[in-house]
Structure 1
Amino acid sequence: MNKNAAATIATGLAILLSANAHAEQSVIYVSPPHIAYEIQLLEKGRVIHATTVSAIPGSSSSSKTGQTISYLASCDRTAEALSCSPGTVWNGFEIELTPALAANGDVTTEVEIKDSQFISMDTVMQDDGFLVQAPRVSTATAKMRVAMLDGKAVQLPYADVSTGVSREISIIARKI
């Protein structure tokens, strides 16, 4: 075998080995950890709602439970017809969570709570004499930033001044 042929074979092998080495390299993408929240809404120590919410640090996630209540909101009479409009009111609990991870791994969570409690539906007379409905709803809202330890419960008590009802939210954050 001459020198040129040997050099060509050696160059070809080097190219193949180099290509094979590049083919075996892989890139590993690491996704940020998810945070799973175990949430309980308690009234007088009794769980009235429980759910689990998962969120990625920097992105919000929410849970909502309750019902929409419809009612007769207004009526108008024209020369041609009587026209009535419905209204809706929310009766339930909403929570939105936005986690953040510190460099040391601690979890901080922005918590936004809205607790709307339907009290009653009153019948009222409009100026034009039509009877319509007016819902009475008590709404408690709160927004806060909470430092959380992995697996440890945080208790967030609150009271609705208009109804006198005391409630508590228990949140446990777990990195998954």
Structure 2
Amino acid sequence: MEQVAAPLKEEEWVVYVTGAVARPGVYSLPAGSRVYQLVEKSGGLTDEADAESINLAAKLADGVHVHVPREGEDKATTQGFMTQENQKKGSFLGSASAGLIDINKASKEDLERLPGIGPKTAEAIIAYRESRGLFERVEDLLQVKGIGPKKLEAIRNLITVGSP
């Protein structure tokens, strides 16, 4: 009897979407997908989405984070599309900030967009920053109540510590 190998599952990419979409989160999409397909899978843009600031036709890649800004959102603290490769290079579609959230400048709302950071933890980060001064290293977040090693690892690639 001849054995037939099971067909290989089409390659899938895992991507993370935040911001002004109906269901932010982590999604699996077929390799070669585009931003608009991720937006559709996440329930579409919300009414407050700043659709002009994101390229819906951009190609995705495995492991990317797509943030859909809201109208009036501070473009200095978040950007529309980032990849792990661009984060490592320190570039983000021409931006030196790599689209990372600067924990020394971020508002409560900016911090709450990070996975696992709710209102109380965001307030604790801001209170720590105001009482003890600016963070010098990302690891300094471990001094904030509500942030442990696991939570820090979950947000490490999404944040930065900018200069004062």
TM-score range relative to shorter protein: 0.3 to 0.5
Larger radius of gyration: 1
Question: TM-score scaled by structure 1?
Answer: 0.31
**Which of 1 and 2 has higher RCO (CA within 8 Å, sep 6+)?**
1
Structure with more helix by fraction: 2
